[in-house]
Amino acid sequence: MRAIHFPSHRFCGMSLLVLAASVLPVASTSQADDKELQRELEALKGTWIAVSAEGQNGKIIPKEELDREQVSWMFKGEGKAVFSAAGADVDYTYSIDPSKSPKAIDLTIVGPAEELKGHKQFGIYKMEKGKLTFCLTGPEATKEDRPKEFTVKDKADILLEMERPTKK
């Protein structure tokens, strides 16, 4: 089975794994901020299937490949997520900050790959018209490397557009 490359994985030279994510609440300063955070966390929950991806200096990954490799993210409660691809999973913890513009997401790899445990990825996200879009750094990046817009400028970044799975 051929692996897809993702900045945190094979797009940066490592195998792409399917991620399912859960959101951890971010410290908020007001009830309004807390309500917005809870709305965002609830909206993220569940499974998202990749419908388009761009990585490695703007390389487009064909939809057929994304479908074949079953690239997805699953967001769970309690700040946990799972990324899945080609039958392999990567576990993450995450937090979001919907008060930022664009909205920020921080992911930390939990496993199973020992060499990646504890590595962080920094990104931005948006939810529009039933789609979730992420732009993420690779696992060697710092907070300062966080993307500022939804474009791939660095060879280790990845841009993913996802939708909810369709019922068959």
- Indicate whether 168 belongs to any domain: no
Neighbours of 143 (CB within 10 A): 10
CATH number at residue 31: 2.40.128
Q: For 9-62, how does the pLDDT look when each residue is reduced to its tens digit (9 = 90+)?
A: 333 333 333 232 223 333 434 666 888 899 999 999 999 999 999 986 778 999
Cα 80 to chain centroid, rounded: 12
Residue type, 36: E
Q: For 105-159, how does the pLDDT look when each residue is reduced to its tens digit (9 = 90+)?
A: 999 999 998 888 999 999 999 999 999 999 999 888 899 999 999 988 666 789 9
Instruction: Give the length of the chain.
Output: 168
- Indicate whether 2 belongs to any domain: no
- Indicate whether 158 belongs to any domain: yes
- Indicate whether 50 belongs to any domain: yes
d(CA 155, CA 45): 29
Helix (H) or strand (E) holding 67: helix 63-69
Residue range of the domain that includes 148 = 10-163
Instruction: Tell me the whole-structure pTM to 2 decimals.
Output: 0.79
The number of folded domains in the chain is 1
- Indicate whether 4 belongs to any domain: no
- Indicate whether 122 belongs to any domain: yes
